[in-house]
Amino acid sequence: MTPAPHDKPASSEEERWLVINGRRWRRTDPCLPEDVVTELKSQLGRGRSGVRAAKAAGDDQAVALARRRVGMAKHGLGERGPYWWEEPETARVMRARQVLEELAALDS
C-alpha cells in the first residue's frame, strides 16, 4: 500500500526551512488547517506582545508566562519540537489542536 501524499516527508529543504539574514528558521507545518494556523499565529503575536510589555514593566513572572505562550504556539505551528516532516500528518494536526486547547486554558 502506498502512503498518502500528505504522509510523505517534504521533498526539499526550501519546504522545511526559511533563511533570514543568514539564519535558518523552521517553516510552519504546511499540513495544518488554515484556521488552526491563524489562531496559533494570533496566540504567538499575543505572546510576543506580552513579552515586550512585561519586560517594559519589569515583571519577570509575566515575561515567563508570555514566553511560555510563545513557545507553545511555536510548537503547535511545528516551528519547534519534533521535525514535522518526520511525523504523520494526523499526529501533527492533533498536536496543533491540543496546543490550542492548552493556550485557551492559560486564559481561564
Kindly report the three-state secondary structure assignment for every residue of 43-56: HHHHHHHHHHHHHH
Contact (Cβ atoms closer than 8 angstroms) between residue 17 and residue 24: yes
- pLDDT tens per residue, range 20-53: 999 999 999 999 999 999 999 999 999 999 999 9
Mean pLDDT, range 51-77, rounded to an integer:
98
User: CA nearest 71: which of 35, 49, 44?
Assistant: 44
How many Å apart are CA 89 and CA 32, to the nearest integer? 8
Q: How far is CA 80 from CA 1, 89, 103, in A?
A: 31, 16, 16
pTM of the predicted protein model: 0.84
Domain boundaries, the chain: 32-107
Q: How far is CA 67 from CA 17, 24, 101, in A?
A: 23, 21, 17
pLDDT for residue 11:
53
How many Å apart are CA 96 and CA 102, to the nearest integer? 10
